[in-house]
Amino acid sequence: MNRPRLAAALIAPVLVLSACGGDDDSSPSESPSSSESSESTGGGETAALTTEPAAGEEYSDDAFTFNAPEGWETPPGNLAPQALVFAADVGDSDGFADNVNVVAENQLASIDNLDDRAAAAKAGLEGADAKEIKVGEPIELDGEPAVTVTSLFNLNGNEYRTWQYAATRGEDGFVVTFSFSKDVSAADQQKIAESVAASWSWAS
């Protein structure tokens, strides 16, 4: 039986800032994961978030609200046309602006099982030529379980890593993607991503 696969368009917005990538030859950080030993999301158990909520600029859509990390904002220009919201560390000086975007993916709502949802997200990343794809422990976005998947991308010789959450709310599905330059440690990636997740609130 074929597993479902999320469309590659889910991760397209993370590519837009990669043209800013520098020529840093430092070794890429280890691929981040909430649980390096976990290849399965299990029976719906979610990991508790202990990170303080992000306290930067507030972003919202009709379905959700969250705070970006301090200093992150929407850059000028329509850099991520597919994204519902998009924010980046515009003061980043390493040649790659770490960023977060949220896209709608309502196909997620038809995948109730978290293992299957993680497999679909992983297959979508594989279809987009991502490497080092790992499934971490699911978390909660304001009470809704979200699978965690991390990966490595290479665009025009520039490597960067992504940290994604895939969640549903009713009949709506959302993928939250963080993109980090390769010199951001796995621990820092997790801290940033989880701080945003901790600030997440669904609309009533």
pLDDT at 44: 59
* Domains in the chain: ranges and CATH: 62-202 (3.40.1000.10)
CA distance linking residue 80 with residue 134, whole number of Å: 25
The tokens of 158 are what? Answer: 């520039």
Average pLDDT over residues 1-5: 43
At 14, the pLDDT band (50, 70, 90 cuts) reads very low
Average pLDDT score over the chain: 79
The CA-to-CA distance between both ends of the chain, in Å, stands at 37
Selected residue with higher pLDDT from 96 and 103: 103
Of 2-16, 46-60, 136-150, which gets the smallest average pLDDT?
2-16
Residue type for position 127: G
Other CB atoms within a 10 A radius of the CB of residue 48 amount to: 7
Q: Indicate the pTM of the whole model.
A: 0.80
CA distance linking residue 126 with residue 68, whole number of Å: 28
CA distance linking residue 101 with residue 3, whole number of Å: 26
User: What residues pair up with 49 in beta bridges, in sequence order?
Assistant: none
Average pLDDT over residues 75-102: 84
Of 67-71, 121-125, 163-167, 170-174, which gets the smallest average pLDDT?
121-125
Query: Which residues lie below 8 Å from residue 58, measured CB to CB, with a gap of 6+?
Result: 65, 66, 67, 68
| Tens digits of residue pLDDT in 156-174 | 778 889 999 999 999 999 9
Taking phi over 0 as left and psi of -120 to 50 as alpha, with beta for the rest, 107 belongs to alpha
Measured in whole angstroms, the distance separating CA 90 from the mean position of its chain's CA atoms is: 18
| Tens digits of residue pLDDT in 19-62 | 333 334 333 344 344 433 333 334 557 888 989 999 999 999 99
Does residue 75 have a pLDDT over 60?
yes
CA distance linking residue 21 with residue 47, whole number of Å: 33
User: What residues pair up with 173 in beta bridges, in sequence order?
Assistant: 168
**Local structure of residue 29 (DSSP, 8 states):** P
Average pLDDT over residues 114-120: 91
Nearest to 159 by CA among 48, 30, 5, 3: 30
Nearest 5°: CA angle at 174, between 89 and 130?
65
CA distance linking residue 49 with residue 79, whole number of Å: 30
Is 189 strand, coil or helix?
A: helix
